């Protein structure tokens, strides 16, 4: 665990630093892909404007979802002291792209294929920040584990018991997904495959998590992230099937 770095005599949190780098990675990835598929300055400008706006939309729903999952609906009256959930953030971004696409006359599918695959790289960087900050920690492990220092969230729950470094495992998994999407998957199928691969790995890794995952409607057998993983995975399968059907229909 490495929560802070010293920068010119000032402490800088590793989690916000990794988050900032992750947002920069999204911007650069979208910019790079956009230059390859479009030479329309007006379209490029509209999509670049969408980057900060979609991030703000995602932060709002990310915080709101954590309030609901861990605090319940009653917590909406005093929504203080909660964190962010990735699926809440992803949901907010998707809603924004749907609305923004309609308002600016941009195909939402184009926005999805530009942004969603880039999220895998951003997630990979963000999970490093989680590990350094001591959140999203794993279960106790007898053979493979990391001890967190006194004062950290994992130490408050498990003491000096070694825990599975699930944050780093997920970071590596997401980096692999990013490479697969950008090297093996055609551009117009990347969002669909992202919604298949990312939720699948998240569903499995949730079984290794040792922090408070919250619940939906008092259902504790699966975490909220696992239930949402199933929803997003099916959305990806349906999207991929729809793309194949449209392709077959277009054939002479």
Residue 208 placed within a domain: no
Q: What pLDDT, on a 0 to 100 scale, did the predictor assign at position 247?
A: 56
Each residue's pLDDT expressed in tens, for the chain with a length of 252 residues? 677 777 777 777 788 888 899 999 999 999 999 888 876 888 889 999 999 999 999 999 999 888 888 777 677 777 777 778 899 999 999 999 999 999 999 999 999 999 999 999 999 999 999 998 888 999 999 888 899 988 888 999 999 999 999 999 999 999 999 999 999 999 999 999 999 999 999 999 999 999 988 877 777 789 989 999 999 999 999 999 887 777 555 444
Q: What pLDDT, on a 0 to 100 scale, did the predictor assign at position 252?
A: 46
Angle at 69 between CA 19 and CA 238, to 5 degrees: 80
- SS3 call for 168: helix
Residue 220 placed within a domain: no
Angle at 150 between CA 149 and CA 152, to 5 degrees: 75
Cα separation, 184 vs 221, in Å, equals: 35
Name the strand (E) or helix (H) holding 41: helix 41-66
Number of domains the chain contains? 1
Name the strand (E) or helix (H) holding 82: none
Residue 237 placed within a domain: no
Backbone dihedral region for residue 136 (phi beyond 0: left; psi -120 to 50: alpha; all else: beta): left
Residues 6+ apart with CB under 8 A from 145: 138, 161, 162, 163, 164, 165
Residue 29 placed within a domain: yes
Residue 19 placed within a domain: yes
Parent domain of 119? 4-187
**Predicted structure pTM score:** 0.90
Contact 166, 137 (CB under 8 A): yes
Displacement of CA 186 from its chain's centroid (Å): 21
- SS3 call for 80: coil
Residue 18 placed within a domain: yes
Residue 226 placed within a domain: no
Residue 33 placed within a domain: yes
Q: What pLDDT, on a 0 to 100 scale, did the predictor assign at position 73?
A: 65
Q: What pLDDT, on a 0 to 100 scale, did the predictor assign at position 238?
A: 95
């Amino acid at each position: 665990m490495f929560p802070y770095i010293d920068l010119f005599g000032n402490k800088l949190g590793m989690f916000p630093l990794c988050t900032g780098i992750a947002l920069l990675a999204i911007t650069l990835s979208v910019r790079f892909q956009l230059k390859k598929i479009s030479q329309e300055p007006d379209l490029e400008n509209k999509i670049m404007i969408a980057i900060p706006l979609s991030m703000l939309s995602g932060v709002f729903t990310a915080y709101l979802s954590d309030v609901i999952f861990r605090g319940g609906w009653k917590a909406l009256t005093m929504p203080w002291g909660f964190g962010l959930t990735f699926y809440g953030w992803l949901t907010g971004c998707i809603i924004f792209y749907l609305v923004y696409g309609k308002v600016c006359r941009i195909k939402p599918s184009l926005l999805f294929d530009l942004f969603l695959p880039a999220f895998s790289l951003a997630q990979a960087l963000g999970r490093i920040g989680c590990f350094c900050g001591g959140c999203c920690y794993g279960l106790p492990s007898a053979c493979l584990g990391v001890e967190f220092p006194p004062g950290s969230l994992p130490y408050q729950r498990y003491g000096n018991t070694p825990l599975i470094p699930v944050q780093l495992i997920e970071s590596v998994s997401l980096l692999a997904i990013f490479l697969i999407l950008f090297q093996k998957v055609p551009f117009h199928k990347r969002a669909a495959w992202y919604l298949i691969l990312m939720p699948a790995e998240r569903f499995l890794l949730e079984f290794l998590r040792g922090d408070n995952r919250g619940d939906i409607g008092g259902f504790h057998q699966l975490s909220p992230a696992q239930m949402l993983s199933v929803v997003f995975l099916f959305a990806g399968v349906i999207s991929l099937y729809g793309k194949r059907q449209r392709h077959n229909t277009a054939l002479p």
